[in-house]
Structure formats: C-alpha cells, structure tokens
Structure 1
Amino acid sequence: MLLYIHVPFCRSKCAYCSFFSLPLSDQLSLNAYLNLLLKEIAFWGRRLGSVPVSSLYFGGGTPSLLSLAGLERIIRALDTAFSLQPGLECSLEANPDSCEDPEYLRGLKSLGVNRLSLGLQSLDNAQLRRLERRHDAAQGVRVFDLARWAGFENINLDLIWGLPGQCLRSWLQTLDKTLSLQPEHIACYGLSIEGDTPLAQTVVSGETTLPAEDVQAKMFLRGAEMLESRGFLQYEISNFSRMGYACRHNQGYWDGVEYLGLGAGAVSTLGGRRWENPKNLNQYARLVRWERLGENAQELTPSERVKELIMLSLRTACGLELKAYTRAAGKTFLREHARLIQVLRQNELIRISEGRLRLTKAGMLVSNSILEHFFPATQAP
C-alpha cells in the first residue's frame, strides 16, 4: 500500500494553483491540524491493521511548513499504525522559501525523508513573479545546494513550461540551468489554466498572453530531447529521472497500487472503493472526531476500472499492457479500437511492440485528446 499525507497550508496561494490549499494563519492552526492527522492515522491503523507500506509521500500545500517535531510525531504514529517496509521511499514536497535552513534539512534526513521534491517552477525571476511565487531563482539554487549538504541523494525539481512571457529559448535556458545542478529527477509540467485562479482570470480578460500552441508543443518536445540527451529517462508524460530514480510512489499510482490518503482533501482507493476526505477543515475535523472517515466510499465499476487502466497506463513510457486490458475488459483492445489505432499509427502518435501500446512523444503531447477518443468505445463486461 502507498501512503499519502496531505498538508493543505501555504504561506500564500500562487496565482496558477487550483489545488486544495489554505493560507496558514498561525502555528496554532498547524498544530491543531497535526493532532487531527494523528487521530486519523490511529483510526486507520485500527481499521486496517498492520498493512505493509512501501511508499510514504508528504504533499500539499507546503509540507515543509511542518516542524521537525511535528513530522517526527507523524512518522512515529505511522510506524505504530502500519508496517513501514525496509527501503521505504519517503518523499516530502518543499518550497524553497520554507526550507532554507540547513538544520531543518538535516533533520528531515535524520527522520527518514530520503526524497526531497523542490518546487522551483522556474529559474527566471520575472516568471516567478508572474506566478506569485515567494522565492527567487537564487534562493531555489541555494536550497538545492543546502539539501545536498544535508545529505539528500535523491532530489526532484519541479518546473513549469508554457508560462506567460516564456519563449522556447527561455524555457530551454531554464532547463539547462536546472540540469547543471545535477538533480536525480525533474518533473516538467505544462501550465494548466484552471478554474477561477487569478492567473486564469487574467488570461480570460486578455491581460495575460500565453505562448502559442505550436511554441508550447516545441517546449515539450525539445525539452524532452534535451533531458534525454543529458541522461534522463522519460518514464511518464511529465516525469524524467536518471536511471534508478523514478518516483516509486507516483509509479505506484500509475500501476494501480492501492493507496490511503490522510488529511483534509486526500483521496484513497482501497479494495476497489474510492473516497475523498472533506476539503473543509471543520467537516474533516468532525469526521475524524466521530470516526466516520471513508463512509462516503464508492465502489469503482468495472467500466471505471478499465478506463483508469487505459488512462494511467498510457501516461507512462511502458504504456498499456494489452493482455492486462483483455483480463480487465474481456475484450481485445486492438480489435475493439481497430479504426482509431490505425489512424493513430498512421500519424505516428502510438507504437505497438512487445505486447504493449505506447504513446510516442508526439502522442503524449495530445494524450488528453487521444484518451477522449478511446473512452466512448470502452466498456467492461
């Protein structure tokens, strides 16, 4: 089983962010949330028993706002409630402005955090200001260096392409600077304009202009080429790693491993059932105190499971195992989607080999559109 811990607090909300996060008003709010987390951990420990856990991931929000003492309490509670396996991958997301403290970073390492994920997003100060990030490029580099000093041997750096004011050259320059730091993993996400975020509002109003679609396509393709030429493997649409450093936690999601999400807004999938904790802190607190967590779980239908198999598999470089599809759907994928597959192959958007169907890099660029065409015809028995 995978374990995910959601820490929804941030010092401030970034202009593009649509994830569930809340402004941190004071340390008391964080302490109160920590106590709720500890109660939820104990609840699921009693409910599930000593389940083996292969990966632990602290996400947010900004988990690096947690104190070392708070993190230690969480990890000890998890170790009591579950069976944390030897060789556990323990990842923690951090923003540069919240962890520019060498002793804090050394403390994380001593607690067992062995994978650090830093939210750089860009190494261009003008772009960071547009995103309303709290750090600048120099601070991002300093924190990376401090993490190395603290003993971290597995560091991921998050970057975003397709930003306002970004051209192909500036994106490749950011990528080149990032590569010069020699991280083990780089996640490159295309900017997503979502909901009523401040950035979305300025795009709709015309105040902010995004790079043209053909430029964004070149950012994705040329960026992938640069990364691969420097020893990084693209193992998922947005994720690149050196050999042996793929994120085991995220890989577990894409492989369909069961996971338990703890904290407000966290999602779980166990035993073919899925549920989400409330994003409202008061509602979450009530469910924790009343021990009624997971009562909103919904059984995943056979059709939903098949669709998820396609969607998650095709995000990865390994692609969809055709026999796995036949086992899940009772049908032959190549026969069921014969006409669409022919068109995709003619346009060099997919390739089929060794019993797997994979998206090419050009196919990954339009993966959402490809998946939409697969889904209407997909039905489970």
Structure 2
Amino acid sequence: MKAASLAEWLQQGPYQAYSYSYPHKSAYRALPSRSLRAAWATEDRSALFAYIHVPFCTMRCGFCNLFAMAQPAETLVESYVDAVVRQMQAMDRALGERRFARLAVGGGTPSYLPAALLERLYVAAERILGIDLQATPSGIEVSPETVTPDRMRVCRTMGVQRVSMGIQSFAQHEVRALARPQQNAVVVEAIRQIREAGFPVLNLDLIYGIDGQTVESWLSSIESALSFAPEELYLYPLYVREQTGLGKMAIRKADQGADFRQALYAAARARLLDAGYTQVSMRMFRAPHAPRDSGPVYCCQDDGMVGFGAGARSYTRGFHYSSSYAVQRSATRSIIEDFIACDEEQFAQAGYGFELDSDEQRRRFVIQSLLTDPGLSHAAYTQRFGASVLEDLPQLQELTTLELATDEAGLFQLNAQGVSYSDTIGPWLASAAVRRLMPDAPC
C-alpha cells in the first residue's frame, strides 16, 4: 500500500487513476438485498439526476474499459429498452414524490439505438418519471458513425441540449493505434448534422498519450477541434487497463520510454486558455460562447442520482448501487441478459454496491469538490458534516505545503499545478479500504 504522504504519491507521476466518482464502481461488491423504497425514503428527492445507460456500441475501442458491448443482436437491444422502461416503472413507485433536475443518457453509445427506441426511452422518462423534457437540462453521448438526421431530430425534439461526441484524435495513425477505425470525413459530417439540428452545446472528447502521438500532432487535433467552435472540450489522458483491447495487445508497456502525457496536457491547456476557454477541471474546458447552464450544479451528491439500465450507478448519500460490472464481452452480455430478465419486483431491490460510512461520505465530498472548479468550500463542508474539513482530513494541508493549492477566503482550491495532478490527488484521498477493493488501484 502506498504511503500516506502526498509527496511520495507524486513521485509516482501525475497519472494514477481518474477520480470521476468516488468510490469507483470496481470497489462495489455483493451486499444483502435491500428495498430501494427504504433506501430513498430519507433522501432529499427534490432535485434528482436521472441517468440512463445504453451499453451498446458499433465497435469496442481498444482503450475502453466501460460497461458496453459491440454489435448486439437487434432483439437484445429491443428487449433491453423494454427492461429499462420496466425499471422506470419500478422506480416510480420506489421513489414516491420527487423531482428530476437533470437527465443524461450515456453509454456505451446511446445513439447506437434506432431513432424509434431513443424516442421510446425519452417518452418513458417523461411519462413514467415525470421529467419535463423541455425544461430539464439534458445531454446524450454519441459517436460519429451513429449520428444520423433522424436520431438527432428525436433528441432535439425531446429537449436534449448537450451532445457529447468522442473523437479522440483527428490523426488517422493515432485513431488506428487506439483500435478505433474512424474517418475524419465521418466526424465532420456528424458535427455538421449536430449543428444543423440546433443543439446549444457540443462537447468533443480528445485523448492524449496515444502511441506515436507528438506535441505537434496533438496540437493539430486541438486546432481541428477548435475549428468547429465546440462549447466544451474534454481532454482525457490515455489509460491502458489490463482487460481492454490495448491492454491485451500490450501496445503500451512500462519500458517503452518516457511518459509524455504531462507535456501534451500542458501544451493543450495553454492553447485552450489562449483561445478563451475556461478550465473547469483537469479534463473539462468551457468556451466563452457556451450558454449559461440553467440547471443546478450537480456536485458532491447532494442531489442524488438514479440510474436506469445495466451498468448504471445510483447514489444516495450512504449507499451506491448498480448491476455488477464487467469489461469482457461474455461477462457483459451475461449481466445484460440478467438485467433483461428482471421483473418490477426485482428492480425495486438492490444487492450490489458500496456502503458509505461517515468517513467515506466525507472523502467523497472532498474529492468531488476539490477536483472541480471552484473548489472545496469550508462552509459547505461544515454545513454538510458539522465539522471542520481540516480537522477531519488534516492531510489536505499537504496540498498547500507542496504549493499545489491555496486556502483563502473560505475556499480550498487547487492551483494550475495541482489541477494537473488531479489523477494522483484523487486516489491519494481515497481510503485504504476502498483502495484494497479496487483491482486497478495505485498501490
């Protein structure tokens, strides 16, 4: 197990694990089954986040370790959507009175679904869950090859405001290195259709650290992305995990030389700031022309997330739950088939997840706040937990000692150098218990 000192963690480099949620789903385990009505009964249900997971894609990218499968049978896809609707009906009863303040459809690739099935999901979300589609901020993830006029028309008609598309790179040799066959002409046409459909926000995802990538080729991809004036850009460092295609092919090995990801990150960050983008987190950059988000800020799980679909996570303050998790196709398919076989009574129960005691809740709040602009508010922490954050987590002071953060005017905030080490700071703040449960955890 790594030493508790942040200085020692930093010696291992800036890229150890992405802390987009805490704890990561790989820390979930089988638990005694419990009623979801009871789990949600004492939660604030006035501003919930609905997330619908579509675990299907046209291809399995070499770097992907998400819960998804490529090229499923049409009958499986239809049965899956039927099951998601059935799950919504079960959660309608389990949640009782509630209001959803945000909606996201992710994957996988949600736009893999035919337009009619996409429409069915949105209509069910409105009729069963009571989501006002036209008034609720919502987004969807797409891939270039699945963007079609009929799909985009359905999404826009259903009130979708944000479309996020993974491009990863505009350099053909780089997308080949990612085991992702993709032509720039398809990307350009997809962006044209998204813009033509009138979505207020376009997000593009790019990846750095690809085999054969240089600062010059990376900045060329940045310039190509900027030419489309996306409202948001996400820059992801490449992680190669053991069960992914790239991991199995051993394309990147520890002895292949220096890790240039930090130099690539710095070059891209400088270019985006020069273009007027604001950095929201290590990965997210927002354009000056991006519309103001009218929805509530979804941070630290004050609002609660209700997940629908195999692979979707749900969060109450003290209990995170989902279906089980897999990367390999056979295991993923088995989980999806088990999900499809569930009736409403089974969907009203949860038996796989993670119990967050008071310490884990505090760590989650700190990690989720600290790694995103504007940072960790002392007052918000005290209001939530009735204590001082520096008394509960005194190790945070090491961030200021190492000049990675400032603690001024009641706000604990990473500086530019600290933000660049988000993927080390997040894992460093995880509990020893969570790290022991995670197979890929830094140690």
Structures share a fold, TM > 0.5? yes
Alpha-carbon separation, structure 1, partners of 2:388 and 2:75 = 56
| Identity value in percent | 27
CA distances 1:150-201 after superposition (whole Å, capped 9, x unpaired): 2222111111111111111211111111011101111111111213212123
SS of the counterpart of 1:310? helix
Alpha-carbon separation, structure 2, partners of 1:159 and 1:11 = 19
CA distances 1:91-122 after superposition (whole Å, capped 9, x unpaired): 111110111x2343223212222211111111
Amino acid across the alignment from 2:162: R
**Aligned CA distance change for structure 1 residues 300 and 34 (closer, same or farther; 3 Å):** same
Partner of 1:231: 276
**Aligned CA distance change for structure 1 residues 332 and 207 (closer, same or farther; 3 Å):** closer
Q: How many residues align?
A: 374
**Aligned CA distance change for structure 1 residues 250 and 224 (closer, same or farther; 3 Å):** farther
2:51 pairs with 1:4? yes
Alpha-carbon separation, structure 1, partners of 2:427 and 2:155 = 42
**Normalised by the size of structure 2, how large is the TM-score?**
0.77
Moved over 6 A (4+): 246-250
SS of the counterpart of 1:19? coil
CA distances 1:227-269 after superposition (whole Å, capped 9, x unpaired): 1221211112211112455778895145642010100011101
Alignment counterpart, residue 146 of structure 2, candidates 80, 98, 111: 98
1:51 deviation in Å? 2.1
The answer to whether the Cα contact below 8 Å between 1:121 and 1:128 also exists between their aligned partners in 2 is yes
Alignment counterpart, residue 308 of structure 1, candidates 351, 364, 387: 364
Amino acid across the alignment from 1:7: V
Alpha-carbon separation, structure 2, partners of 1:187 and 1:250 = 21
Alignment counterpart, residue 265 of structure 2, candidates 202, 212, 220: 220
1:275 deviation in Å? 0.9
1:359 deviation in Å? 1.2
Partner of 1:323: 379
SS of the counterpart of 1:83? coil
Amino acid across the alignment from 1:369: T
Partner of 2:18: none
Alignment counterpart, residue 191 of structure 1, candidates 218, 238, 241: 238
The within-5 A match list for 1:204-283 is 206=253, 209=256, 212-213=258-259, 215-243=260-288, 244-245=290-291, 252-254=298-300, 256-270=302-316, 272-279=318-325, 280-283=335-338
The answer to whether the Cα contact below 8 Å between 1:256 and 1:309 also exists between their aligned partners in 2 is no
**Aligned CA distance change for structure 1 residues 135 and 253 (closer, same or farther; 3 Å):** farther
1:361 deviation in Å? 2.1
Amino acid across the alignment from 1:344: L
1:5 deviation in Å? 0.5
Alpha-carbon separation, structure 2, partners of 1:64 and 1:208 = 39
SS of the counterpart of 2:187? helix
Instruction: Considering Cα pairs closer than 8 Å and 6+ residues apart, tell me whether 1 or 2 has the greater RCO.
Output: 2
**Normalised by the size of structure 1, how large is the TM-score?**
0.89
Amino acid across the alignment from 2:130: S
SS of the counterpart of 1:140? helix
SS of the counterpart of 2:200? coil
The answer to whether the Cα contact below 8 Å between 1:234 and 1:241 also exists between their aligned partners in 2 is yes
The answer to whether the Cα contact below 8 Å between 2:90 and 2:345 also exists between their aligned partners in 1 is no
Query: Aligned-pair RMSD on alpha carbons?
Result: 2.7
1:290 deviation in Å? 4.3
1:88 deviation in Å? 1.1
Partner of 1:18: 65
